[in-house]
Copies of this chain bind each other. A is one copy, B any other.
Amino acid sequence: MIRAGVVGAAGYAGGELLRLLLAHPQVSAVVAGSASLAGKPVTTAHPNFRKRTDLAFVPYDDVKDVDVLFLSLPNGAHRLDEFRGRAPLIVDLSSDHRLRDATAYETWYGAAHPHPERLADAVYGIPELHRDKIRGAKLVTGAGCNATAAILAILPLVRAGLADGARPIVIECKVGSSEGGRDASDDSHHPERSGVVRSFRPVGHRHTAEIEQELGCRVQLSVTSVELVRGVLATAHVPVKDISDEKVLWRAYRDAYANEPFVRIVKERTGIYRFPEPKLLAGTNFADVGFALDPLGDRVVALCAIDNLVKGAAGNGVQAMNVALGFAEDAGLGFVGLHP
């Protein structure tokens, strides 16, 4: 049994970390750090915990003596030094250590990385990509939610050598409002945000860099906000060469994911849920992937749905912790999701 700490526990991803860790069979104690709400019960920020926990937030200084520490701080905070000595395993959900290349970091984040020497130490923490490196790692970094969905959609095609590298992969992510975090803004004001189909970031989204790093190919990402609180659907248009039969695609996806506990291949001929659908995934750690072959044989539409706060953040972090510490990979991640 271990003790787990969360820095930034009052945010949306922080709340999901608490939800998963408080019910985790290998976690005996959770320390919830919040700078703004220290001293208040966690139910102040997360009313779903009413009558289920008496936990209160503590100041960041008191998040210590833990076996694993999750950092759920704003991107660009670069506060790793402050927390590194407090736990043998750090899971950093921010974007501070996702890129291995300091030049790419500067290009996409608009500022030089303050500690480029560290970038090589961190493991990009999607277990489906780097399970071996995560085992025993000391610094695991979370992945961007849009990046996670995009990578998992496309990965089997790249691994199988089916993607035509001569053309970039166009990816469009449709996302919910929780991606923007818990601070209110003019953009998130309900009368303005409700019912939108808003081209939030048509070009230049930072997750592009992570996707290209992990897939090793050029991608063109656009992100559109839709009426949804939780969830991402990545629709990737992957150029391929003369594929005439879906069998080769089935093989690629099965090779990649048949043994993955949290990846499901969703592709049905009939029914309502023929392709991955984020609506079914709220609260779960699943990544549902699917694909469709263009009749002309030169494009595969690769799809992946996730809950941005779970497989796109907190749940993936707990899964990585499970791998790093040698627990059952699905420990504490058993919620199956709701329908309807």
Contact = CB atoms under 8 A, between A and B. Distances in A.
Interface of A: 12, 15, 19, 22-23, 44, 46-52, 167-168, 170, 172, 174, 176-178, 180, 182-199, 202-204, 220, 222, 224, 226-231, 233, 235, 237, 264, 266, 271-280, 282-284, 286, 288, 290, 292-295, 298-299, 301, 303, 305, 334-340
A299 to B, nearest CB: 5
Given A178-B191, A197-B233, A338 B226 contact: no
B301 A235 contact: no
A92 to B, nearest CB: 23
Given A44-B271, A279-B195, A290-B199, A266 B50 contact: yes
Nearest to A46: B339
Contacts of A233: 197, 199, 224
Which one of A176, A191, A229, A305 has the highest number of Cβ atoms from chain B below 10 Å of its Cβ?
Answer: A191
A76 B263 CA distance: 40
30 contacts: A12-B191, A23-B334, A47-B280, A48-B336, A49-B336, A168-B298, A170-B170, A170-B299, A177-B194, A180-B191, A188-B191, A189-B189, A192-B272, A194-B227, A195-B228, A195-B279, A197-B226, A199-B233, A199-B290, A202-B292, A203-B292, A203-B294, A203-B301, A204-B295, A224-B235, A226-B227, A227-B228, A237-B237, A283-B283, A335-B335
